[in-house]
């Protein structure tokens, strides 16, 4: 019997305002990501931010897929911009580490699912840029940072045909939303798979030449929403994780 796919879940760093008896800096991942991977049939393993350049290669050697989670703003230096006034806290060490994870996952043909910041760092690592704050995006008129409980949909997406997301979501799909940054220029070979009704890019996927057979195309998808908060309530959210974990399972079969 084949083992369950192991999913590497990129961690963040939390710094407490007051120091506790065991320190004030913690590696962490919201539990919703862990729950979503388990519910989809995978085994989650947290990948803590590390400065060791060899760590990413070793960690991705243990994992069958990579889940890039939400969190800090991406440092605009990576895509050649100076910081604007609305930029929030960045964590360059995390940017570097996740960039290494992405490079290694792609090199090994392992599936990647990027969520919120995860979609942004995926695009930037592949050569794209971001809106540092949506106030700098002409035309943005919707609220993209809901105050409503994350389990509930907030605004609509328009999903493009012939994409992975179109196999999972409705043509017009309501999702939750918690972000102030977004993809601006997509990286080479990255396509837009979903947008909000005010034109903000909400989904991206890595495109491959037509010469590559469908079975050989790795699953590389980024979404700006937070499906991990909705897997117990929205069919599409759980299906997205199931598809991701299923793709990771194919890596196991390839290695046998």
User: Domain extents for the chain?
Assistant: 6-15+22-255
pLDDT above 50: residue 81:
yes
> Is 116 among the residues known to form the active site?
yes
What mean pLDDT do residues 133-140 have? 82
The answer to whether 226 is a known catalytic residue is yes
Closest CA to 124 of 84, 67, 78: 78
Q: Given 98, 155, 226, 234, which residue is catalytic? A: 226
- The whole-number pLDDT of residue 162 equals 93
- Matching CATH number, 6-15+22-255, of 3.40.50.880, 3.40.47.10, 3.40.50.10810, 3.90.930.12: 3.40.50.880
- How confident is the model over 233-247, as a mean pLDDT? 97
Determine the pLDDT at residue 39: 98
Flag whether pLDDT at 54 surpasses 60.
yes
**pLDDT tier for residue 21 given thresholds of 50, 70 and 90:** low
pLDDT band for position 211 (50/70/90)? very low
Whether the pLDDT of residue 232 is over 70: the answer is: yes
Per-residue pLDDT tens for 89-109?
Answer: 999 999 999 999 999 999 999
pLDDT of 8 strictly over 50: yes
Catalytic residue among 98, 104, 205, 228: 228
pTM score? 0.93
Q: What is the pLDDT of residues 173-205, one digit of tens each?
A: 999 999 999 999 999 999 999 999 999 999 999
Q: Of 116, 155, 202, 205, which residue is the catalytic one?
A: 116
Checking if the pLDDT of 84 tops 60, the result is: yes
């Amino acid at each position: 019997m084949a083992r369950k796919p192991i999913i590497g879940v990129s961690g963040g760093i939390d710094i407490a305002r007051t120091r506790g008896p065991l320190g004030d800096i913690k590696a962490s991942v919201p539990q919703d990501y862990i729950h979503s991977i388990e519910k989809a049939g995978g085994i989650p393993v947290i990948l803590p931010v590390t400065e060791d350049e060899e760590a990413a290669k070793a960690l991705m050697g243990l994992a069958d897929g990579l889940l890039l989670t939400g969190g800090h703003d991406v440092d605009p230096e990576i895509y050649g911009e100076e910081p604007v006034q609305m930029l929030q806290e960045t964590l360059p060490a995390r940017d570097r580490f996740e960039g290494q994870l992405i490079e290694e996952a792609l090199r090994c043909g392992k599936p990647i699912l990027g969520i919120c910041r995860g979609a942004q760092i995926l695009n930037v690592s592949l050569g794209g840029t971001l809106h540092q704050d949506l106030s700098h995006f002409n035309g943005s008129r919707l609220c993209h940072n809901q105050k409503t409980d994350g389990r509930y949909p907030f605004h609509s997406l328009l999903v493009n045909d012939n994409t992975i997301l179109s196999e999972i979501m409705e043509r017009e799909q309501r999702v939750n939303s918690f972000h102030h940054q977004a993809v601006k220029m997509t990286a080479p070979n990255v396509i837009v798979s979903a947008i909000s009704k005010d034109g903000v890019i909400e989904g991206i996927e890595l495109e491959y030449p037509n010469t590559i057979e469908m079975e050989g195309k790795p699953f590389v998808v980024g979404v700006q929403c937070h499906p991990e908060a909705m897997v117990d309530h929205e069919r599409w959210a759980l299906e997205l994780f199931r598809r991701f974990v299923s793709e990771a399972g194919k890596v196991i079969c390839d290695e046998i």
